[in-house]
Each structure stands twice: as structure tokens, then as C-alpha cells.
Amino acid sequence: MSKSKNPFCIKTIFKKIFLGFGLFLIICFLLLGVFYFDHKNKSELVEKEWNLRKIPIPLQIGTTETLSILPLINWHGSNSDLKMELGVSYLIKIDNHNILFDLGQNKLEEDPSPLERNMRLLKIDQNDIDSIFISHGHFDHVGGRRWEKENSFSFGNHQRDLSNKLIFASSALQYPGAVVKEIQEPSRLFEGAASLGPIPRKLFIGRIDEQALVINVKNKGLVIISGCGHQTLPKILQRVKESFSEPIYGIIGDLHYPVPSGRLNILGLNAQLLFASGSDPFKPISSEEIDSEINSLKELNLGAIGLGGHDSSDEVITKFKETFGQKFHTILVGKWIHIAQTFKTK
């Protein structure tokens, strides 16, 4: 009579667990491999799309005599009554327009949201804002994950009436009762202001098309305002060169320099660095690449430069501060950055 194996024997149980775990690991590696090669393929297609882009006739957008920027949401702040978070939002004042650039993150779905609260404390009335410019559809720029999922945006938990605003987005976003103009190429928005047009990028977490705002300041030149900087600095500068005949005077906002580490930690992983910088998680942006981009900015002899802490580390911000000295503006929620000022602020 043959001796049958006891299924409850410790040795058999361990063997089963070991085999099950091994199988699980193999499936994970296979899935990761499929995801990685799909990412590589899509990255190549996006690069091809960029190389085949239409080069526009340089835009004539007119000028503004004034330009002041007030950070409403960012990582660092000027006083502790204001709320800071991972998101981005700026109020941009030019001669005849008050533009709201992005709408923050509202991670905890607070009511009022950090953006609404800061606007109230800084005495910014929604009625004074005539246009909304959305750099891209990520949750930290459209007012939260809920609105990102709905392909929409909001100041806070409740969508206000925005029917009287000019709204410009880099992808097909929807908003109840309002017209959202999807920008598809470098375009004049109104006197003195333009969109740089969406620049595509395949991040490990998916494709994103981001636009920067360009303001043409009289007797100074172009000031680029950047949301997340997913486009990468070389492509932003290339697009400006192709689309405008004026020189670049400044660049203010957020570029993507989360080195040595970013602000977003998911399951112990440095998410901004691994999944949203460089070409893939095995080749994220390096210090050397950042140094070379700083050098390309130095060559432009800029009159103003500001780098936010939204997706750049404090180490990189310090490097910018040391490199650009007096020309550098620290981006702090609640602290005006005056590029060309003719009005008084408190």
C-alpha cells in the first residue's frame, strides 16, 4: 500500500506558500515588463509627434505694462494663517486682466478649500478674476482628484458659476454652464497674453499635455509662467523661440526638479522623481541634467526667475537662489512677485 502525503504537514504547507509567492512574483514582473515596454513605445510616439509639430508663424500678442504674480497655492508660504499644499495656483495681474492660473489640489476635500480660504484671507474676490488658465488636467492643478476623475475643475467642493469667465485648458475639460476653450497650439489669448500650446509628454503614469502661459511685458520681454513643467525646460524654451520674436525676460513657476527627492511619497516610493521625471523609473532626472538646464537659463541672461517648491526640492531651489542672486524670486503663498508694477499691494 502506498503512503499518501499529508496535506497539513508543515513541510507541504511551506512548499505551497513558497510556490504561490514565486508565482505571484513572476506575474508581477511580467506585468511590470509589459507596462514598461508599453511606456517605452508610447514615449517614442509622443517624441515623434513633437518632432513632427507645425512650426507657427511668430505670434503677435501685444504687450502689457504691468505684471504681478501672487502665489495662492504652493508648497511654501509667507505666513502660517495661509494654507500650503502640493497643488499650484497663481493670480496673475496684467493691464486689463486678472488671470487665475490653476486651482490647487484640495487633497482633504475641505470646505472651504485651501484655495478658497487663501483667496479670502488675501482679499481676492472671484468676481475680480476674468479668466482661468489651466496648465494641465492633473489633480494638483484642477482642484483635486474628484475633479480630475470627472475631467473637470473647481475652486472647491462646489462648482461655482463661471459662465462669465474666459477659460483656457490644454485638454478637453468640461465645466457645467461655462465654455472651456481647448487650446491646441500656441495661441494669443488677449492683449499681452498667450498660451504656449500643449506640449505632450509620456510620463510613467500616463500621457499629459501641458501648456504654459506667456506674458509679453513692454520694454522687458516674455515672461513664461509654468504649472508643473512636465513639458521639460528644453522643450518650453524651444517652443518659445519658435512661437515669438521677443526675447525671454523671465520664467516663474514650477519646473520638475524633485532631486534628491520630491514632495509626494507613495508606499515609501519617491513618486515625483520615479514616476514623473526623466524617461522612466530607472532613469529619473539627475542632478547633472538639472545643472545643465540651469546653465541654459544662465545663457538667457534673464531679468526674473522664480522656482516653486511644488515639484522642485529645497536643494534645487537653493541652487537656483545661489545661481541667480537678485534676479531670483522665492515663490511663497501670499507674497507678490512684481515683474512690472504700477499698482500698490499691502
Nearer to Zn ion, 83 or 138 (CB): 138
Nearer to Zn ion, 64 or 211 (CB): 211
Q: Is 198 helix (H, G, I), strand (E, B) or coil?
A: coil
Nearer to Zn ion, 228 or 255 (CB): 228
Binding of residue 307 to Zn ion (CB under 5 A): no
Residues within window 190-249 making contact with Zn ion, judged by CB under 5 A: 228
**Helix 233-243, helix 287-299: angle, nearest 10:** 30
CB of 343 to Zn ion, least distance (A): 29
CB of 254 to Zn ion, least distance (A): 7
Nearer to Zn ion, 103 or 294 (CB): 103
CB of 341 to Zn ion, least distance (A): 28
Instruction: Tell me whether residue 10 is exposed, middle or buried, using C-beta atoms within 10 angstroms of its C-beta: 0 to 12, 13 to 18, 19 or more.
Output: exposed
CB of 220 to Zn ion, least distance (A): 27
Nearer to Zn ion, 121 or 264 (CB): 264
State the binding string over 38-77 for Zn ion (x if CB under 5 A, else -).
----------------------------------------
Nearer to Zn ion, 96 or 265 (CB): 265
CB of 262 to Zn ion, least distance (A): 10
Instruction: Give the residues across from 266 on adjacent strands.
Output: 269
Binding of residue 103 to Zn ion (CB under 5 A): no
CA distances from 189 to 113, 131, 309 (A): 28, 10, 28
State the binding string over 126-165 for Zn ion (x if CB under 5 A, else -).
------------x-x-------------------------
CB of 128 to Zn ion, least distance (A): 25
CB of 136 to Zn ion, least distance (A): 6
Nearer to Zn ion, 138 or 165 (CB): 138
Nearer to Zn ion, 39 or 138 (CB): 138
Size of site (CB under 5 A) for Zn ion: 3
CA distances from 30 to 158, 206, 274 (A): 43, 19, 19
Binding of residue 340 to Zn ion (CB under 5 A): no
CB of 140 to Zn ion, least distance (A): 4
The residues that touch Zn ion, with contacts defined as CB under 5 A, are: 138, 140, 228
